[in-house]
Amino acid sequence: MSDIFQKYCHGATSAAILGEIICEKLKEPIEQSVYKNTARDLTDEIRSNCESLNGSRSNLEQHILKTLAEEEDFDKYMDYIETPRDHFKSFIRDEVSHYITDQFSVSVLPKMEENIKLLQQKIMKAAHESTERVQVKRGDAGLWLKSFTQQLSDELIFSEKDLSGVKHDDVDDVNLLEDVIRKELPVIMSDIRSRFNTETFPVKLDFKFRPDELLIDHLCQCCWVQCPFCKAICTNTIKNHDGDHSVAIHRNIGLNGWFYRKTTNLSINICTSSVASDGNFYPSHSDDKVPWREYRRAGGVYADWSITPDLSELPYWKWFVCRFQKDLEEYYKKTFDGHGKIPDNWRTYSKHEAVETLEKYI
């Protein structure tokens, strides 16, 4: 760069030097455009190929629950239960990062090559048409630059402004610009190619174009309100939707710290069966008991939920409570005793059964 400017500052504004300056200025916008287009193509591919990310958020949640069961990591479970949105986001980031690492040479690199080729063709076409325009209009280098930058403005973040300060009044042979660019462009492209790897790709890419961010946008723009009893996430696909929140699978409310009044016994109740019972509960914000059947009377967060009575088996969360009983007891400083004693038949579910039964709810 400094060499070019030295030649340039010493007065000899040849087409060769102007061409080199143009190429130098194009480097960064070309790289950004190649990364951006590759990321876009890759996002489309991940959206159709990656099992956890190719459907709705409910499909994604099923994969998250499967992964949590495979890993059997209590802290990760609590992260999912307490801050589901962040957990979903980091799950998506991990999936995308694995995909990029696994598929780098077979899928990401070829996409980048293709985008480089296309961009090179577009730039040469713009250069060629600018030369023709100058010839027809008997224009000068100023007209050439204007035409060139205008044609590329859709492809690159590059405008005449980027060339302001570049002297071009006395360029000897405008026709040569196209040749100089044809010669210099492959050098820039191979430079970009050589810097492209699994580490630089996500880092050099503008945040908003990153495949994980695009997928987070796509999959996480929905309702995240959690059941006030069991923390299950509303499955409505619209953020700030009208009507009640709802979800197909509720959980044992003890895993959210609910316990039997005046005891230190964590509750084994499941919201869907409780709302069919004759019992009462005490909302977290008051000392007035509310009949389960009329849980909405508790107002606030309770009023906005539609919890339908359902006595069907929910092996996944029963398995979870059995598997992590000690961890939950420690976490909430309470125990599954007394009314909260875990029924023996809960212990009969295998992890495999627990995970399998998730599928029928999606």
Return residues touching Zn ion (CB under 5 A): 223, 225, 227, 229-230, 232, 234, 236, 245, 250, 271
- Give least dist CB 241 to Zn ion, A: 6
- Neighbour tally for 318: CB within 10 Å: 24
CA distances from 96 to 13, 53, 109, 159, 196 (A): 48, 9, 15, 33, 17
Closer by beta carbon to Zn ion, 33 or else 62:
62
Closer by beta carbon to Zn ion, 273 or else 325:
273
Closer by beta carbon to Zn ion, 54 or else 284:
284
- Give least dist CB 269 to Zn ion, A: 10
In contact, 41 and 112? CB cutoff 8 Å: no
- Give least dist CB 56 to Zn ion, A: 14
Ordered alpha helix ranges (H), the chain: 2-9, 15-49, 57-71, 74-82, 84-103, 109-137, 141-152, 176-195, 200-204, 211-220, 271-274, 300-303, 315-323, 325-332, 351-358
- Give least dist CB 295 to Zn ion, A: 10
Closer by beta carbon to Zn ion, 26 or else 307:
307
- Give least dist CB 317 to Zn ion, A: 10
- Neighbour tally for 307: CB within 10 Å: 24
In contact, 21 and 4? CB cutoff 8 Å: yes
Closer by beta carbon to Zn ion, 202 or else 228:
228
- Give least dist CB 277 to Zn ion, A: 14
Closer by beta carbon to Zn ion, 19 or else 254:
254
